[in-house]
Amino acid sequence: MSLGFSLALFILSVVSIALSVLGIGLFTTPAVTHLVRMHADQRRHFARDWAGMDVPRPYRPLPPVTSMGSVVERWTRLMRDPATWRDLAWLLTDSVVGFVSALFPPALIAYGIEGFVIMAGVWRAVQHEYWYAFIPVEGFGTATLCACLGAVLITLSLFVNPSFIQGHFVIVKAMISPSRGAQLEQRVEHLYETRHDAVDSSAAELRRIERDLHDGAQARLVSMGMSLGTIEALVEKDPAQAKKLIAQARQNSADALTELRDLVRGIHPPVLAERGLGDAARALALRMPAPVETEVELDGRFAEPVESAAYFAVSELLTNAAKHARAERVWLDIHYSEDAGGVLRIAVTDDGRGGADITKGTGMEGIERRLRQFDGILAVSSPPGGPTMVTMEIPCARTSGPGVPGSPRRP
Q: Are residues 19 and 124 in the same domain?
A: yes
Q: Contact 132/115 with Cβ under 8 angstroms?
A: yes
Instruction: Give the three-state DSSP class for 360.
Output: coil
Quick one: which of 189, 197, 199, 253 has its CA closest to 221? 253
Quick one: which of 154, 156, 157, 136 has its CA closest to 145? 136
Q: Are residues 214 and 249 in the same domain?
A: yes
Q: What is the pLDDT of residue 410?
A: 40
Whole-model pTM?
A: 0.47
Residue type, 314: V
Taking the chain (411 residues) in runs of 10, the rounded mean pLDDT of each run is 77 90 88 91 87 82 75 87 89 82 83 85 71 81 86 88 83 81 62 59 61 57 71 78 78 70 63 83 81 86 84 82 78 85 88 74 72 82 83 84 51 38
Q: Are residues 217 and 73 in the same domain?
A: no
Q: Are residues 213 and 235 in the same domain?
A: yes
Q: Are residues 200 and 299 in the same domain?
A: no
Cα 331 to Cα 321: distance, rounded to the nearest angstrom: 10
Q: What is the pLDDT of residue 117?
A: 83
Q: What is the pLDDT of residue 271?
A: 75
CATH of the domain at 375: 3.30.565.10
The helix or strand, by DSSP H or E, that contains position 191, with its residue range, turns out to be helix 180-212
Determine the structural domain holding residue 145 and report its residue range: 2-176
Which of 176, 210, 242 is a domain's end point?
Answer: 176
Q: What is the pLDDT of residue 265?
A: 58
Q: Are residues 162 and 25 in the same domain?
A: yes
Q: Are residues 298 and 374 in the same domain?
A: yes
Other beta carbons less than 10 A from residue 43's beta carbon: 21
Other beta carbons less than 10 A from residue 162's beta carbon: 13
Q: Contact 364/310 with Cβ under 8 angstroms?
A: no
